[in-house]
Amino acid sequence: MPHSPAEPELGHTRTKPVHWIATASAMAAVIAGAGLLQPATGAPAKAAEGPPATAPDPTGITYPLDCKGAPQAVTATAQGDLDGDGRPETVAAVRCDAGSGTPPHALYVLVQDRTAGARPRVVATLLETTQRKTATDLTVRNGAVTASLLGYSSPDVPRYSPDLKQRAKWRWSDGKFRQELTDSAARSV
């Protein structure tokens, strides 16, 4: 189309192949940039927080249990997060290894300090040996410790043959463990 004398011919209004190449290159750069700058889909990645926390190892610890020279024996353990801090604790059923009979258990809660090379330590006692109970079926679920406690109805019952059984539960509440008996009373075995 010819230009009228009122309209001057401008050099940049003519398209040349170089103009199309420059426009195509600019559009490709915009599309590539948009692909890189899209909003992320899914959940954001968590920052690395180090290795996952492991439950304390109950072996090799001296428990606050007086065995009068006999060795201590860990007979059962259970692990789980008891205080809601995201780090698992270990509950250990420990008794004196007397060699005969059924010595009573103590139940201890262990934590692993975050300091490198730190050993696990006892932070709570759930069951004392003075209660003369044997703990079985030890579990940790939903922040609670449960166990079956075997005991004796009288001093005449042989120590190798408990005749009472209770289910007990301990839960962390207001800065300490609180025990709840899950049975209304001890049942005869």
**Residue 145 parent element (H or E):** strand 144-151
For the question of whether the overall pTM of this predicted structure is more than 0.75, the answer is no
- pLDDT of the residue at 123: 95
- pLDDT of the residue at 186: 54
Write the pLDDT tens digit of every residue in 54-64.
899 999 898 99
Q: 120: how many CB neighbours lie within 10 A of its CB? A: 19
Mean of pLDDT values over 170-180:
91
| Residue ranges of domains in the chain | 72-188
Nearest to 166 by CA among 123, 140, 130, 136: 136
Mean of pLDDT values over 99-119:
87
